[in-house]
Amino acid sequence: MTDAQETAAASSLRTTGGAPPDDGGSTASAVPGAPTPELEPTPEPVPEPTPLLEPREGIPPVVADEASLAAVIAAFAAGRGPVAVDAERASGYRYGQRAYLVQLRREGAGTALIDPVACPDLSGLGAALSGVEWVLHAATQDLPCLREIGMVPTRLFDTELAGRLAGFPRVGLGAMVESVLGFVLEKGHSAVDWSTRPLPEPWLRYAALDVELLVDLRDALEKELDRQGKLEWAHQEFDAIASAPPPEPRKDPWRRTSGMHKVRRRRQLGVVRELWQTRDRIAQRRDVSPGKVLPDAAIVEAALALPVNVHALAALNGFGHRMGRRQLEQWQAAVDRAKELTEAQLPQPGQPVAGPPPPRAWADKDPEAAARLSAARTAVSALAERLNMPQENLIAPDTVRRVCWEPPAPADAESVADALAGLGARPWQVEQVAPVLVAALPA
């Protein structure tokens, strides 16, 4: 048994910064059919958390060649139990969200740090771990970059999502490890440029520690979810994440430019689009974050001002004296292209909305639907509080809106359950939410 497992076993779930409230079983009793735990003696004072400073076997060497990778694959294939997986990206420094370091830990194999720049194809490792449960924290953040290098889990356990379902108010990895296991993780290198080579030793230590206790955390959270009668719910959520297809490319990504709410006229929208697309091509070619090429604020500034020439452009915030003449000319060329577009070529304001309109418009468009939504939101909020979990994890807000905008007829238990399932709700969500929506829809 590791130090972390001993600590967790001794204290059940610690309460040093965000464990679910233990009020004698009220959380579990809110779940239909969940057993009521026996009353326990008053817990002993919780000791101060222990700083976790070094991986238990030291910092492993970075795997950066095929021979070393083959050895890691063999070791992890022969390991036992779940495998902890993490990935580090260079968000804010590089174009895209590729992985620049992959960390793994499994009993019997220890910890491995793999450089996916030197070893870009990790499909062999992914295949060796097929059927093994992968333990990730905030899995949806790492799965896209892992998929790019050939690592796709068939089973997973998401410790962040488990924490949400169990009612933890703070679900960051550091907060969870501290409150559940009693150890403090160093978080000073989370936002560094992981594309740096060679990676400094303190960064590698931080990366190794991120997977050091992930399986221990998984085991403790599994017990807590089981205690609350929510373990099957968690398994359904994890299966949904593992089986989800890659997301579709975002339509008109330029519309997400920060500050777009200031841009009203179609010609100005055209300038935003031209500048955004020009910036994106440059950022991709240079492999840098688009924000380092040109800030969003500068794009919006140029769209509002519609500068007539390079001199006028240079006077705007974001296009100051540090920008060379050639750079200014390429941005002014983008502005000029937008000015030359015909009315038919200009983008329309807003985006076509699939599904119901924004809720703020419901009272005017359909007062009865607005009343249904208000009643449904109140009922779902009360249920989420009773189950001690965030509303968005109980049921997606968009799902509630769609059912309230076009409720099934008749709005009975069976038809509402079918509607929820058709919108992607998991069976446990349907079981919990359908009854409260049936009661709310006649409003």
Per-residue model confidence as pLDDT tens for the chain (443 residues):
444 444 444 445 554 445 575 544 444 444 554 545 555 566 666 678 899 999 999 999 999 999 999 999 999 999 999 999 999 999 999 999 999 999 999 999 999 999 999 999 999 999 999 999 999 999 999 999 999 999 999 999 999 999 999 999 999 999 999 999 999 997 778 789 999 999 999 999 999 999 999 999 999 999 999 999 999 999 999 999 999 998 888 899 999 999 999 999 999 999 999 999 999 999 999 999 999 999 999 999 999 999 999 999 999 999 977 788 899 999 999 999 999 999 999 999 977 667 899 999 999 999 999 999 999 999 999 999 999 999 999 999 999 999 999 999 999 999 999 999 999 999 999 999 999 999 999 86
- With tokens 């040093």, the residue in question is 16
* Token pair belonging to 146: 């892992």
Angle 258-259-264 from CA coordinates, rounded to 5°:
130
Nearest by Cα to 223 from 16, 42, 37, 3: 37
The 10 Å CB-count burial string (b at 16+, else e) for 408-424 is: beebeeebbbebbeebe
Given this model, what pLDDT does residue 163 score? Answer: 98
Given this model, what pLDDT does residue 350 score? Answer: 76
Contacts of residues 3-6 at CB distance under 8 Å and 24 or more positions apart, as own/partner, are: 4/181, 4/182, 4/183, 4/213, 4/216, 5/216, 5/219
Nearest by Cα to 302 from 270, 324, 277, 325: 270
- The alpha-helical segments, DSSP class H, found in 340-426 are 362-365, 367-387, 391-394, 397-405, 413-422
> How many CB atoms within 10 Å of residue 273?
22
Q: What secondary structure letter does DSSP report for 58?
A: -
Angle separating helix axes 397-405 and 413-422, nearest 10 degrees = 130
Rounded to whole angstroms, how far apart are CA atoms 223 and 226?
5
What is this structure's pTM? 0.87
Rounded to whole angstroms, how far apart are CA atoms 296 and 274?
13
Nearest by Cα to 152 from 130, 136, 121: 130
Strand pairing report for 133-136 and 155-158: parallel
Given this model, what pLDDT does residue 10 score? Answer: 47
Nearest by Cα to 443 from 376, 362, 363: 376
